[in-house]
Amino acid sequence: MSRPPLPDYPWDHMIPYRERAAAHPDGVIDLSIGSPVDATPTIVRDALAAASNAPAYPLTVGTADLRNAIIAWFARRRGVTGLTLAEVLPTVGSKELVALLPFLLGLGEGDVIVHPRAAYPSYEMGAVLVGATAVAEDDPTLWPPEAKLVWLNSPGNPDGRVLDIPELQAARARARELGAVIVSDECYAELGWDGQWADVPVPSLLDPRVLGSDRRDTLVAYSLSKQSNMAGYRTAFLAGCADLIGRLTNVRKHAGLMLAQPLQAAMIAALTDDTHVAEQKERYRVRRALLKPALEAAGFQVDRSEAGLYLWASEGRDAWESIDWLAGLGIIAGPGPFYGPHFPQHVRLSLTVTDERAAAAASRLAVV
């Protein structure tokens, strides 16, 4: 079977704008990719160092200690109780899982994979890689009968949209009706900002209020990249339906998709400490408080963005014009069209810059 060639990596299209921004006399402010800039917590680094003697192959399912740490974290931070060892699985970061899940589930031509309208591009790429059809649709009543896999992303990248309990219930019920696997990618769940999410934890698809204890065909993906500044470690995990976790484990064993043993130890340290997560959230709160009003004063409307790591903003003109204008200020943002065809006028700005760069961005936006 031959498939059409993959599209160019979208961020390559940003090169001219990066060059323009780099020419700014006071240096570039990169709000585009969303790669963490703060240090990995010492407890995590110490745990990694202490586990560096690792001559044997690691377990694909992870050590029992790691799986128990994931289970305890879900109960403590996400209100998901009663998970068992057979219902959790570490992954090598979550991007590989997102892009490979259709393959790991055996999907292919003729199958439909649903993802949000404003979406992290890897959901679509996972469909492309197996020759399946990706459909960008948020309304569960419009999900087609051919849907075999549904991705939710709450809080959303790029738009910061949170799905509340009734929305999660409706999505889950529709997926069950279609016989589709439903997976919620929730890696920004600790970053609630506005409305009820300032006080109430962002709910998980595995929340008992959504599905009781019936986790059939339902999974949640989570990542430590952002909440623990571990993007360079590639540490993430899945939880949910034991049958699916078993099937995925089997393929992942055959494919050698296992998380390195020292990283499993580092993950345990991160998952058992809530202090560094709260400290990191506070850093992002400060940066968001600088950037959001500055963007608004400069004529941008910030949409949704009630949670998560990004500001999803529009000036009411073509996104590439906004990208160019921001590049003239030495600010690099992400164009809305990278997140699907429905947002030609949006740009995404990440909170992953130092306080100094966030303040510099705010003052550059203020002088226009």
- Footprint on this chain of ligand PLP (rule: CB under 6 A): 34, 93-95, 98, 120, 153, 157, 185, 187, 223, 225, 231, 236
Report the residue number, 97 or 130, with the smaller CB distance to ligand PLP. 97
Minimum CB separation from ligand PLP for residue 77, in Å? Answer: 17
Report the residue number, 227 or 364, with the smaller CB distance to ligand PLP. 227
Find out whether 354 and 29 touch, Cβ atoms under 8 Å.
no
314: its two tokens: 């529009």
Report the residue number, 162 or 231, with the smaller CB distance to ligand PLP. 231
Minimum CB separation from ligand PLP for residue 310, in Å? Answer: 9
Burial of 356 (C-beta count, 10 Å sphere; 0-12/13-18/19+): exposed
Find out whether 111 and 150 touch, Cβ atoms under 8 Å.
no
Minimum CB separation from ligand PLP for residue 147, in Å? Answer: 20
Minimum CB separation from ligand PLP for residue 231, in Å? Answer: 5
Specify the pairing of strand 301-303 against strand 310-314. antiparallel
Minimum CB separation from ligand PLP for residue 26, in Å? Answer: 27
DSSP letter for each residue of 62-102: --HHHHHHHHHHHHHHH------GGGEEEESSSHHHHHHHH
Report the residue number, 231 or 331, with the smaller CB distance to ligand PLP. 231
Report the residue number, 223 or 264, with the smaller CB distance to ligand PLP. 223
Report the residue number, 185 or 207, with the smaller CB distance to ligand PLP. 185
DSSP letter for each residue of 20-34: HHHT-TT--EE-SS-
Minimum CB separation from ligand PLP for residue 120, in Å? Answer: 4
What does the alpha-carbon distance between residue 365 and residue 359 come to, in Å, rounded to a whole number?
A: 10
**Number of residues assigned to the chain:** 368
Minimum CB separation from ligand PLP for residue 270, in Å? Answer: 13
Minimum CB separation from ligand PLP for residue 99, in Å? Answer: 9
Integer CA distances (angstroms), 72 to 26, 41, 69, 82, in order:
46, 20, 5, 9
228 half-sphere exposure, CB direction, 13 A CA radius: 27
Report the residue number, 143 or 151, with the smaller CB distance to ligand PLP. 151
**What is the H or E stretch that residue 210 is in?**
helix 208-211
Q: What b/e readout covers 291-320, taking b as 16+ CB neighbours within 10 angstroms?
A: bbebbeebebebbbbbbbbbbbbbbeeebb
What does the alpha-carbon distance between residue 153 and residue 142 come to, in Å, rounded to a whole number?
A: 17
Minimum CB separation from ligand PLP for residue 324, in Å? Answer: 24
What does the alpha-carbon distance between residue 362 and residue 360 come to, in Å, rounded to a whole number?
A: 5
Report the residue number, 11 or 325, with the smaller CB distance to ligand PLP. 11
Report the residue number, 40 or 157, with the smaller CB distance to ligand PLP. 157
Report the residue number, 175 or 231, with the smaller CB distance to ligand PLP. 231
Alpha helices in 51-187 (DSSP H): 64-78, 95-104, 122-130, 165-178
Minimum CB separation from ligand PLP for residue 155, in Å? Answer: 9
The amino acid that residue 127 corresponds to is A
